[in-house]
Structure 1
Amino acid sequence: MAGLASQINSVIQYILGMGAIVMLPIILFIVGLCFRMKPSEAFKSALTVGVGFVGIFAIFGILTNNVGPAAQAMVKHTGINLPAADLGWPALSAITWGLPIAPFVIPMTIVINIIMLIIGQTRTVDVDMWNYWHFALAGTLVYYITDNFLLGLVAAALITIIVFKLADWAAPMGEKYFGLEGISLPTVSSITFWPIGLIGNWLLDKIPGINKIKIDPKSIQKKFGVFGEPMMIGLILGILLGLLAGYDVKGLLNIGVNLAAVMLLLPRMTRVLLEGLMPISQSVQEFLTKKFPNRKDLFIGLDIAVAIGNSSIISTALLLTPIAVALAFILPGNHTLPLADLANLAVFASMIVLACKGNIFRALIISIPCIIGDLYISTAMASTITKMARNVAYKGAMHSVVTSFLDGGNPLRYWIVKIFQLDPIALVLILIVGGLVWWIYRATKKDVLSANE
């Protein structure tokens, strides 16, 4: 039995090793065939989606390769000496997939998704199987802390259900403000902050003076002309980041031009991806409309990467980078040294930006307390993440403490972990947070649900 389990795990690891840019086109091709697309059309659409993701990840690589070293230079200049190094989401996802719960999460998530679709409790058809690691991470954390495998699976199932509901909720505004027609974004590291963004935006609406401030790419471009275009904003923000990192003139120009390229090219790659996705999305909706006349509102669930080409998101993320470093330095009791995940702040900020309808000023204000929470939570989870990393022989954790600034510091995962530990505060928060989320849902329902009308 153990041998069979090992073989199954090896097969799953091999498939996952292909990465999102290979897995997703294969899955979408199969989805297209299942929903009666011609094989040639399904193949072309799926391949176009894959090409779009190649472009997005390549450009995101430019962002990472420039923001990462600049952030490390800032850390060096500020003299930060914190014991828990941020290993970033790529390493954390690889660690998660290498641990026992992960292989069980894939079939479980598919079953949960199907059941929720059948009983009408979700509108999201989550085809982004590679990103199921987000659900697996929650289960793995609970497993390591409680030493109970079954509780780990229950935790993974719980966060899956919550994320599908949040993705459904945000999708109409995503269609309008990100141009993602027929798409939802069930990525834990971003969708967690959707209700927080809505609550923060609602509160800022009530503050005189503050509620009149609007800073977004359109208003900047209108006021500053050519210097307000996304490409120019990227250049300016890149140079500012370089100055904070202590770069010389060559370094300043290099990071400036690279971030200008990111601002210009990411939206274009997103359009390529959507060009491939639309035929598949339409086929799914046409098929389901025939079979289930009352289900005309389904979304295809994809990685948040399809949204981060938005200029407001990238601008917010770049502005948050030095802020995160400064907060890590000044917050008492913080042990997290933010490094690898600093380049992933676009994912963190995306749903907050959406809740603020692209208003960078508001998104920054709301993001700062969220970053503070992430730093403290990632500090609290450092010992568990280090243990996980050592169990898969991750070199960076063998002689030092590691954590993950954003995914390790995610408040939804942490709350679920504390619930399964029967922490009294976490249990009381079920009622408080549940009531707060229900209230903001009712308070913003008309605005959110009418966004795509």
Structure 2
Amino acid sequence: MLAGVQEVINWGAPVILPIIIAIFALILGTGLKKAIKAGLTVGIGFVGLNLITGLLGDTLGQAAQAMVKRLGLSLTTLDIGWPAASAISYSTLLGISAIPLGIGVDLFLLFFGLTKTLNIDIWNFWHVAFIGGMVYGVGHSFPLALFSMLAYQTLLYFLADLSAPTIKKYYHFPNVTFPHGIALPGYIFAWPLNWLFDRIPGFNRLQADPKTIQKRFGLFGETSVMGLLIGLGVGILAGYQVGEILNLGIETAAVMVLLPKMVSLLMEGLAPVSQAANQFVKKRFPSRELYIGMDAALAVGDQAVLAVSLLMIPITLLLALVLPGNQTLPFGDFATISFAVSLMVPVFRGNIVRAVVGGTIYLTTILYLTSWVAPLVTKMAQAAQFDLGHAPQITALIEGGLWPTALFVWGARSLPWVISGLVLLLALGGLYGLNRKQLAHKAD
């Protein structure tokens, strides 16, 4: 049974999500032809996204490694990236239980009107499984790990509901939200930073969104040219030859141009399903609103998100070099930086300068936290019989360094059950506060 479920999970999001989309569309009454087309279009979009982000990881990842050698970085903990981290997270009965748990929590909250998010991004329940594995590694208690997963999943639904208006306003995605374990922590992290930035004289008047940059700098503000310049800069820092520098520049420009087109394809497939879902809800529950929970990949094609993500790669490497006490060598999660900042950028209203400064502060905390949890990640990997290669320790830069991970790990060590219980209560209270109007209509 466990092996069979793991085999299905190993199909990956580009296969699992189209199947879910098609089944969901059929349930909503879109018709067989439209349902198959919607699922297939979403699958094609995800394949395109993976190809382009893979290009980003391969090209800039190799350049980053060249920078590491050139700068003489000597760090003991290797960042293995999210693909390996997700496989490790789903490698146990506890990890796989995140899927039925996540679906069950969502259906429970939807039934009682406590959330507006219908999450179809089942693949990304691995973020919850990761938290469960970390808590189990600390407390060696299956019930505590399961309870922590329940609390974290509820927190993600609260944050998905909370961030939905911001997503709609900035990305113009109708009735879409991201219950995504990498994107949502950055959303919360960005708010106090934005409040602070608004109160710094001079800095608070700086306009640096893509449209303003393009208007002010003309050709040099164009998306493709920005990508070219960033790629050239990284290539120079990596010590590449002229031809290699130019190739990296063109490839980075290609990522900047092609990734938004793949996101448009994803939205094309999702649009009829989203419309059918909202018609379904309005017909049966006139007073209720529904958000479709999707992968934050929909957001990474934004011009500002892409520009910030590319700039953060050399900045992250520099931070790894200069931060005292950091043990993490960034590598596998370079492409995942775009997910980490995808909900920070809307809070900063697309201001690239604010997002880079905020992202630098954020990545500083991530590097320290991911170094702190590295022994637990290594322990999880060993339990899953993951090949560590020659690395003394491994970690997952983005997932391992997020503040929810630190919160649950610290809670399992210092106040087992208490922290998870408080998170669950606060998340439920937040959901009630956000959705009390539709709860009142339900009671009527």
Q: What TM-score do you get using the length of structure 1 for normalisation?
A: 0.91
1:188 aligned counterpart, secondary structure: coil
1:101 aligned counterpart, secondary structure: helix
Indicate which of 298, 301, 326 corresponds to 1:306: 298
Indicate which of 315, 336, 346 corresponds to 2:338: 346
2:292 aligned counterpart, secondary structure: strand
Distance 1:71 1:343 in 2: 12
Question: For residue 345 of structure 2, what is the amino acid of its counterpart?
Answer: V
How do 1:104-143 residues align onto structure 2 when only pairs under 5 Å count? 104-143=97-136
Give the match for residue 417 of structure 1: 409
Rate the CA distance shift 1:125–1:91 in 2: closer, same or farther, 3 A.
Answer: same
1:341 aligned counterpart, secondary structure: coil
Unpaired segments ≥5 residues, structure 2: 435-444
- 1:423, distance to aligned residue in structure 2 (A): 4.7
Structure 1 segments of 4+ aligned residues over 4 angstroms from their partners? none
Give a deviation string over 1:384-408, Cα, whole Å, max 9, x none: 1111111122112576211111111
Contact 2:408 2:419 in 1 (8 A): no
1:192 aligned counterpart, secondary structure: helix
Contact 1:135 1:160 in 2 (8 A): yes
How do 1:223-234 residues align onto structure 2 when only pairs under 5 Å count? 223-234=216-227
Distance 2:217 2:61 in 1: 29
Contact 1:186 1:301 in 2 (8 A): yes
Indicate which of 161, 167, 175 corresponds to 1:168: 161
Count matched residues.
Answer: 428
Unpaired segments ≥5 residues, structure 1: 1-7, 443-453
Contact 2:78 2:391 in 1 (8 A): no
Distance 1:119 1:77 in 2: 57
Give the match for residue 260 of structure 1: 253
- 1:101, distance to aligned residue in structure 2 (A): 0.8
Give the match for residue 316 of structure 1: 308
Indicate which of 1, 24, 27 corresponds to 1:31: 24
Give the match for residue 446 of structure 1: none
Matched, 1:68 2:61: yes
How do 1:30-429 residues align onto structure 2 when only pairs under 5 Å count? 30-295=23-288, 297-396=289-388, 400-423=392-415
Distance 2:408 2:285 in 1: 34
Give a deviation string over 1:220-273, Cα, whole Å, max 9, x none: 110122221111110011101111111111111111101111111111111111
Give a deviation string over 1:414-440, Cα, whole Å, max 9, x none: 10121122359x969x79xx79x98xx
Rate the CA distance shift 1:208–1:385 in 2: closer, same or farther, 3 A.
Answer: same
Give a deviation string over 1:294-343, Cα, whole Å, max 9, x none: 11x21111111111001111111111111111111111111111111123
Give a deviation string over 1:283-303, Cα, whole Å, max 9, x none: 1110111111111x2111111
Distance 1:339 1:278 in 2: 35
Distance 2:385 2:419 in 1: 34
Question: For residue 281 of structure 1, what is the amino acid of its counterpart?
Answer: S
Contact 1:389 1:397 in 2 (8 A): no
- How high is the sequence identity, in percent, across the aligned residues? 37
1:120 aligned counterpart, secondary structure: coil
Question: For residue 407 of structure 2, what is the amino acid of its counterpart?
Answer: W
Contact 1:182 1:300 in 2 (8 A): yes
2:78 aligned counterpart, secondary structure: strand
- 1:172, distance to aligned residue in structure 2 (A): 1.6
Distance 1:298 1:399 in 2: 46
Distance 2:395 2:409 in 1: 16
Q: What TM-score do you get using the length of structure 2 for normalisation?
A: 0.92
What is the Cα-based RMSD across aligned positions, in Å?
2.1
